Structure 1
Amino acid sequence: MDLLPLGSIVVLRDGYKKLIIIGRKILVGRGEELSDYLGCLYPEGYLGEEYCYVFNNSDIDQIIFRGFEDLEEKAFIKAINDIE
């Protein structure tokens, strides 16, 4: 599964609260682990880093809304896929 665009809204497995994706390919900790996404609560938005969550495609149970995609987004995804 390709990365979802910024602004996508998802529910994680065993979760009930929606998250909005605000970042992708996030280094966690001391840069030792790479996660697919950084999300914050929806509809609240960013309330501070203690309310931000890192997760991967495999953690997503439901895609509620898919964010905006254009040529620039598609080029970004292609560049990431070429690196991996």
Structure 2
Amino acid sequence: MAENFNSLNIPKGEELLPIGTVVTLEFVEQAVMIYGRKQEQANNDKIWDYVACPYPQGHISNDTNVFFDHSQISEVVHQGLITDGEIAFRRELKKLI
């Protein structure tokens, strides 16, 4: 039971994560910070769940953008801010997709 209290795990859940969330991915060694959701990559018609930049450096150039889907997240290191506005935005985004 004590290990449950000491757990630092942040579940990724099923919902899109908020802007500012820092995650690790299956295919990138460095952690990345989400700065966009439901994004289209240039020269690619696919709509990705997220676009992120290297953490802690931030957005360096378009060459360092990382596009990925929710299923590719290995671990949530830090969850971004969740406000009433964030919750309302997610609800509207769900209607569109």
* Bin for the TM-score computed over the shorter chain: over 0.9
Secondary structure at 1:43 match in 2? coil
Residue identity over aligned pairs, in percent, reads 27
Tell me the TM-score normalized by structure 1: 0.92
Residue aligning to 2:68: 55
What value does the CA root-mean-square deviation take over the aligned residues? Answer: 1.3
2:95: which partner in 1? 82
Distance 2:56 2:27 in 1: 19
- TM value normalised by structure 2: 0.81
Partner of 1:32 in structure 2? Answer: 45
State the aligned residue count: 84
Mark the structure with the bigger radius of gyration.
2
Task: Choose 23-32 or 43-52, whichever is displaced more.
Answer: 23-32
User: In structure 2, which of residues 47, 52, 56 is the aligned counterpart of residue 43 of structure 1?
Assistant: 56
Shift of 1:15: 3.2
Which shifted more, 43-52 or 29-38? 29-38
Q: 3-state SS of the aligned residue for 1:45?
A: coil
